[in-house]
Structure 1
């Protein structure tokens, strides 16, 4: 419950805890400060996980070595504290020296080497990017509950951002660290759709926007995959050429958006990325974004792509199929007959092919089977019109449009 008086009593008892069993056993007797529960959490893990800053600070003062322990999920107290927004706990852990002052005075060069090695091998290294971007994003320590006033939240937001900036100014080396999957601070910022954090990191180290994780995805890929339009805008504002980068599968950011079905991310990319070749670029398997959206039946994404005149519906994939012929082939069997949504997508693809692909040799058109009748067909038809109305109301034309013609 975070009762400090009780904690002080328990810490005093724990510090008086013997190191060995009274019966003379050779086994080491664990201190209550370092004992773990079934989840592998020490008392410090539990304190920061329950947002008890005062308790966590007291535990750190009682035993500094607890800050290096990881729980059953390989989380350090530093990671949990930053995720929960405990600014004072994060600052205290980061400010704790890795080596004693006496050792630094005795051998400064060895101390620097030891400190650097600790940052590399400690589990904290694998969580550093997540920790410090979550500290920076300006949402730390802020829960926008309905009973809290707007001004109070704004004040806390300003304070948290100032604290995060100050920490990074004091420890700029932390900004370039990555987690165990190769994700850097920008990868984590875009997951939260936080343009403020992206801008802050860019001002300190813009090259992070171009760095890839272990699956060769840039932060812009992550923003598209998580559906983070504000983060996409912030990335493209400072680094527009990052949209040209592909991941380990040859997928660009348009592929990433349609695979995840993130319509908001796709809309944002269509309005801000001008190069038509990126919209029609094939991945490692020869698939364009339109083909992928059709094959995965992400119908809103496919329809939005068709609304953009830069998207070419005539491109054949590695199997010699267009997006239309793929939808058609999947519905060739009786059990796979099209529902109303698929039928509408097929008709739109067929219409665009007839208008824009007259000089191309395309797979033959056959009338697919349509499943559903009566009330179900009417219900699906209504749903289709709602999807279309939404797309029409929200689509942004890259080059603008004439209101006269």
Structure 2
């Protein structure tokens, strides 16, 4: 059992928000770090203990820019957990808003993993740059596309109109990511406000449409296809043509039908067949119908895999 003055007890007091008990015992332990190199400030920020954060900074003069072993600072912790009061306190104290943790993640990137628009607004309002990229080539807009909150995407596009012009190191766009995760409302925003190149493909030749099909998100796949068919203007037609290339294939010569069947997403496979996609062999000659157990239901006859 932890005894008074034990660092483990101090961290537990911070987690539980017991400021008075912390005040009584902190003198005996002084500044300390946890197993991951955390300071008590990291702990307070992570758990949203604004009163304790204030006490540690103003009564003990603890370093608000202290880093742990992952180079996280208290601002990273508060932003990643969506604790707006702690974020605003740290920003008002003048912390570096675009500080980097391991893998080059900024506090804004971490805030974009949460659907907390106000925290994102606070960070951007204090100068956070949405265009910075982490080691994988993702900027904050790309990360927000994975979470799929349309209000956050709309806000980032308003304050930084070029935020959508980004690709990861393997050439995946925010549209790829939103489609893969089935974020229908996010996809609607991306198709309306952004201008992706026709048939945008990642380094493996995969399009957003193929991502949606492979992961079973038929609503997203249907949107990508149906929007193109509307063809209200030439600009919209060009923008959405990536969803129209229903016969596109990846580097292994697999079509969207192969991906749907391999994932046993039968509704998606049926949708593709009804939309006119024909089955064909991949680079090994394997047909899509050989990858699903429900060939009879989809093609109207039994098909045994070639041995």
1:130 maps to which residue?
109
* 1:237 has 2:192 as partner: yes
Match of residue 169, structure 1, among 105, 125, 150: 125
Deviation string for 1:172-230 (max 9, x for gaps)? Answer: x5211223322211222122220000111111223222311233211111111211111
Native 8 Å contact 1:60 1:67 kept in 2: no
2:266 maps to which residue?
299
* Partner Cα distance (2:101, 2:77) in 1: 16
* Partner Cα distance (2:201, 2:270) in 1: 24
1:3-402 matches, within 5 Å, as: 3-11=18-26, 13=27, 32-36=30-34, 38-61=35-58, 62-71=60-69, 75-97=72-94, 123=102, 125-134=104-113, 139-140=115-116, 161=118, 164-171=120-127, 173-242=128-197, 244-274=199-229, 275=241, 277-309=244-276, 312-324=277-289, 326-327=290-291, 338=293, 341-347=294-300, 367-368=303-304
Deviation string for 1:46-84 (max 9, x for gaps)? Answer: 22332222212322333453533125x664432221132
Structure 2 portions without partners, runs of 5+:
1-15, 230-240
* Partner Cα distance (1:244, 1:226) in 2: 19
1:367–1:198 CA distance, 2 compared to 1 (3 A): closer
Deviation at 1:298, TM superposition (A): 2.4
Deviation string for 1:99-144 (max 9, x for gaps)? Answer: xxxxxxxxxxxxxxxx8xx95766495233423435xx7x43xxxx
Deviation at 1:257, TM superposition (A): 1.6
Structure 1 portions without partners, runs of 5+:
15-30, 99-114, 141-159, 331-337, 351-365, 370-405
Native 8 Å contact 2:141 2:164 kept in 1: yes
More helix, by proportion: 1
RMSD, aligned α-carbons: 3.2
1:318–1:41 CA distance, 2 compared to 1 (3 A): same
Native 8 Å contact 2:142 2:166 kept in 1: no
3-state secondary structure, aligned to 1:209: coil
Between the two proteins, the alignment pairs up a number of residues equal to: 277
3-state secondary structure, aligned to 1:210: coil
* Partner Cα distance (1:314, 1:80) in 2: 49
Larger Rg: 1
* Partner Cα distance (1:271, 1:55) in 2: 53
2:237 maps to which residue?
none
Native 8 Å contact 1:128 1:178 kept in 2: no
1:8–1:195 CA distance, 2 compared to 1 (3 A): same
Deviation string for 1:293-345 (max 9, x for gaps)? Answer: 12333222212222324xx2155433344423x34xx8xxxxxxx4xx34313
* Partner Cα distance (1:48, 1:232) in 2: 33
TM-score (norm 1): 0.59
TM-score (norm 2): 0.76
Deviation at 1:241, TM superposition (A): 2.9
